[in-house]
Amino acid sequence: MVSVECPHCGFCKSMPADKLPQQETNLKCPKCSNTFSFDPIVASLVASDDEPATSPPLTSKDPETPSVGHEPAAEQIPLEAPPAKPRRTEMMRIGELFSASWQSFKSRIWTLLGISLLGVLLVLIAFFLMQSGMNLLMGLFGGSMLGPLLSVLVMGSFMFLAVTWVAAATVYAVVDGTGVKASLGLGLNRVWAFLWLFSLVGLIVGGGFGLLIIPGILFTVWFSFAQYVLAAEDTRGMEALLKSKEYVRGHGWGVFGRLLLLMLIFIPISLIPIVGPLLSMLLGPFTMIYYNEIYQDLREMKPDITYPVSSGQKSLWITLGIVGFLAMPVFTYFTAGPEFRQAISMMGSMSGSGFSLQMDEEEMARELERQMQLQLQQNNQVTDRKAQPAANNDPLQDLMVYVYSLNYKGKINLNGKDFYVIKGTPDMNYNYSTGGALQYGKNIFKVDYSSLPNPWKVELRIKVYKPNWETGERTVFKEWVLEDQGGSKTFEIEISPEQT
């Protein structure tokens, strides 16, 4: 019997020698869940040293054995462990890497697919609950944005935790070769550790791309194996990232080339119509196995490594990530051109004070009027109204029709002609304003409209008014507001010369 003892908690179990693995491997302690390296050759030698040596009894049937007396025992040749393999200094070849990855993939495919399908199911459940909760909270909060925001916050957090749990379980299935149930259990046990690790990787790598791309590529190569370090060595947080970086040190170009090669192969495959999305379900697990093979290769070349774990080192990387994210909008603002800066300024001026997801339609109408006035002036169609001859001034041009729509689709007909088509993009504010569309006498608006599925708010507004271009004031003649599920409505307005 050979004793297998966990170096972390001291848990010990005796196993028959023929039940031991044939080569050095990683074992996971069932008591503390930590992973440790186990060499069956060394363990067998230790067990043989602990057992007392025995010799078979002497019998007279052995012609070469004296029947009487005792001869000195023959000199025992001590057993020696086989010489250690020379440590490799080069990474495994590309062909060997793909071959090892494929062999692991074939043996674990059903486990990985089972975990992936569970992840898809959890995401769909979270999305359904978020939609249902949003509608329910909208009714409770009377149309306030607090309801949808609360629903998105709660269900988004659930979805994020579910994805993290599934990702952690997948990593354990790849590293330890455990089944679906065991992998899910290990992932759930370390879900907060993985959540913190993924947050750090996202912050630092994302911030690196904000620092003009190149640092992001470097950080991706350095920290690609942090999740495997956590699963295999139970090294957590920032230390897992720093240990991953130390494994890569000295092999950066080799790791980068192998990761780039896999990306160049898989991206075109995933873009194949119809087949690509289906193959992506297999490419994801294979990619994780491929990364794990690289990690295990690096770990074999560096079994004993030291790396800086001071508070200063940890804070440095987190600070770099934060700086990178802060630099993104600054770089974008100064490199995207005047059109982008003008759009940002207009959004800021329209939003006013406080947080609002929907611009006030009155402000939109005023902005549209100002833009129309500027366009007319540029085309030399508007001159000094006091000096312009009355014969060239059409009063109906000053009568404006304004349309505002939110979460509706349909069309508006004016006096028997198509006037405006509502495209109906979810949560998109549609604003349209024009002059010269009305006529003296009776004007008939016919509106065919329908609500979009599961809207948090619906509104369709049609307004007829006359603006004062000099003072900015407006005289509203008629306004209709719709907030139901849809249908077909007709509205009339009588225009007389006195009104214009």
Beta bridge partners of 411: 421, 448
Instruction: Kindly state whether residue 72 falls inside one of the protein's structural domains.
Output: no
The pLDDT assigned to 187 comes to 93
Instruction: Kindly state whether residue 388 falls inside one of the protein's structural domains.
Output: no
Tell me: pLDDT of 359 over 50: no
* Selection from 141, 429, 161 nearest residue 133 by Cα: 141
Position 302, amino acid: K
Spatial separation of the C-alpha atoms in residues 249 and 252, rounded to whole Å: 6
Instruction: Kindly state whether residue 374 falls inside one of the protein's structural domains.
Output: yes
- Non-local (6+) Cβ contacts of 285 within 8 A are 105, 108, 109, 112, 113, 116, 170, 174
Higher pLDDT, 205 or 368: 205
Instruction: Kindly state whether residue 67 falls inside one of the protein's structural domains.
Output: no
The pLDDT assigned to 53 comes to 44
Q: Are strands 408-414 and 441-451 parallel, antiparallel or unpaired?
A: antiparallel
Angle ∠(495,498,500) on CA atoms, nearest 5: 70
381-407: average pLDDT: 65
Token pair for residue 20? 């031991």
pTM, rounded to two decimals: 0.56
Query: Over the chain, what HEC string results?
Result: CEEEECCCCCCEEEECHHHCCCCCEEEECCCCCCEEEECHHHHHHHHHHHCCCCCCCCCCCCCCCCCCCCCCCCCCCCCCCCCCCCCCCCCCCHHHHHHHHHHHHHHHHHHHHHHHHHHHHHHHHHHHHHHHHHHHHHHHCCCCCHHHHHHHHHHHHHHHHHHHHHHHHHHHHHHHCCCHHHHHHHHHHCHHHHHHHHHHHHHHHHHHHHCCCHHHHHHHHHHCCHHHHHHHHCCCHHHHHHHHHHHHCCCHHHHHHHHHHHHHHHHHHHCCCCHHHHHHHHHHHHHHHHHHHHHHHHHHHCCCCCCCCCHHHHHHHHHHHHHHHHHHHHHHHHHCCHHHHHHHHHHHHHHCCCCCCCCCHHHHHHHHHHHHHHHHHHCCCCCCCCCCCHHHCCHHHHCEEEEEEECEEEEEEECCEEEEEECCCCCCEEEEEEECCCCCEEEEEEEEEEECCCCCCCEEEEEEEEECCCCCCEEEEEEEEECCCEEEEEEEEEECHHHC
Spatial separation of the C-alpha atoms in residues 422 and 405, rounded to whole Å: 7
CA distances from 442 to 262, 394, 415, 493, 496 (A): 69, 18, 9, 6, 9
Spatial separation of the C-alpha atoms in residues 298 and 99, rounded to whole Å: 17
- Non-local (6+) Cβ contacts of 223 within 8 A are 201, 204, 205, 241, 244, 245
The values of phi and psi at residue 49, to 5°, are -70, -30
The pLDDT assigned to 381 comes to 46
* Selection from 221, 222, 243, 246 nearest residue 232 by Cα: 243
What is the pLDDT of the chain when averaged over all its residues? 79
Position 235, amino acid: T
How does residue 25 score in pLDDT terms, banded at 50, 70 and 90?
Answer: confident
Tell me: pLDDT of 66 over 50: no
The pLDDT assigned to 62 comes to 46
Higher pLDDT, 76 or 324: 324
156-164: average pLDDT: 88
Higher pLDDT, 479 or 66: 479
Whether the CB-CB separation of 433 and 401 falls below 8 Å is answered with: yes
Same domain, 418 and 491: yes
Same domain, 322 and 372: no
Higher pLDDT, 59 or 276: 276
Same domain, 375 and 292: no
Domain that holds residue 41: 2-50
Token pair for residue 222? 């350095």
Position 197, amino acid: L
The pLDDT assigned to 138 comes to 61
Same domain, 40 and 175: no
Spatial separation of the C-alpha atoms in residues 414 and 443, rounded to whole Å: 7
Sign of CA dihedral 236, 240, 241, 242: positive
Same domain, 376 and 318: no
Same domain, 123 and 244: yes
Tell me: pLDDT of 368 over 70: no
Instruction: Kindly state whether residue 156 falls inside one of the protein's structural domains.
Output: yes
Whether the CB-CB separation of 224 and 255 falls below 8 Å is answered with: yes
The values of phi and psi at residue 8, to 5°, are -90, -45
Same domain, 30 and 148: no
* List of long-range contacts for 52-57, beta carbons under 8 Å, 24+ apart: none
Same domain, 46 and 108: no
Token pair for residue 106? 């074939």
The pLDDT assigned to 361 comes to 53
The pLDDT assigned to 8 comes to 66
The pLDDT assigned to 386 comes to 42
Give the domain-ending residue among 15, 31, 50.
50
Same domain, 276 and 324: yes
Token pair for residue 441? 């006498």
Tell me: pLDDT of 52 over 60: no
Instruction: Kindly state whether residue 27 falls inside one of the protein's structural domains.
Output: yes
Tell me: pLDDT of 357 over 80: no
How does residue 468 score in pLDDT terms, banded at 50, 70 and 90?
Answer: confident
Same domain, 110 and 40: no
Same domain, 125 and 25: no
Q: How many CA atoms lie within 13 A of 343 on its CB side?
A: 6
Residue 475's CB: how many other CB atoms inside 10 A?
11
- Non-local (6+) Cβ contacts of 430 within 8 A are 403, 404, 405, 406, 422, 423
Same domain, 267 and 124: yes
User: Count of domains in the chain?
Assistant: 3
The pLDDT assigned to 123 comes to 81
The pLDDT assigned to 354 comes to 39
321-326: average pLDDT: 93
Instruction: Kindly state whether residue 350 falls inside one of the protein's structural domains.
Output: no
The values of phi and psi at residue 480, to 5°, are -125, 140
The pLDDT assigned to 90 comes to 87
CA distances from 277 to 267, 268, 269, 289 (A): 11, 11, 9, 19
CA distances from 145 to 132, 134, 428, 485 (A): 15, 10, 15, 20
The pLDDT assigned to 450 comes to 93
Whether the CB-CB separation of 258 and 294 falls below 8 Å is answered with: yes
Instruction: Kindly state whether residue 390 falls inside one of the protein's structural domains.
Output: no
How does residue 295 score in pLDDT terms, banded at 50, 70 and 90?
Answer: very high
